[in-house]
Amino acid sequence: DAKTTQPPSMDCAEGRAANLPCNHSTISGNEYVYWYRQIHSQGPQYIIHGLKNNETNEMASLIITEDRKSSTLILPHATLRDTAVYYCIVRVFNFGNEKLTFGTGTRLTIIP
């Protein structure tokens, strides 16, 4: 699975959009980008995933560059409850590939 690079920490003002970057320059054509987050003392929570098109759900938007070497997770109106560690994971999506390899992620702090 391709390696990802994320900034260790970021701050964002409450109510503003939080934009979390992820570099995955060695991504291959059949690898998807997944985002999870982990709020303190809880298990990780799936947010969104995508291959090449931008994706949006009720939690967030995922913007993937055309060359797929980087992506941005956007939380459109951040709240204090969005304070968490956000993990960007790249891996092949196939049944039988069980592994989610979590890195160190980005610690996002929402400032009141």
Partner 1 sequence: ETGVTQTPRHLVMGMTNKKSLKCEQHLGHNAMYWYKQSAKKPLELMFVYSLEERVENNSVPSRFSPECPNSSHLFLHLHTLQPEDSALYLCASSPQTGDPEQFFGPGTRLTVL
State the residues that interact with partner 1 by CB under 8 A: 32, 34, 41-46, 49, 93-105
Nearer to partner 1, 58 or 98 (CB): 98
Residue 81, SS3? helix
Nearer to partner 1, 14 or 44 (CB): 44
One DSSP character per residue, 23-58 reads E-TT--TTEEEEEEEE-TTS--EEEEEESSS-EE-S
We find the least distance from the C-beta atom of residue 104 to partner 1, in angstroms, to be 6
Q: Answer for the pair 52, 28: CB distance below 8 angstroms, yes or no.
A: no
Nearer to partner 1, 14 or 55 (CB): 55
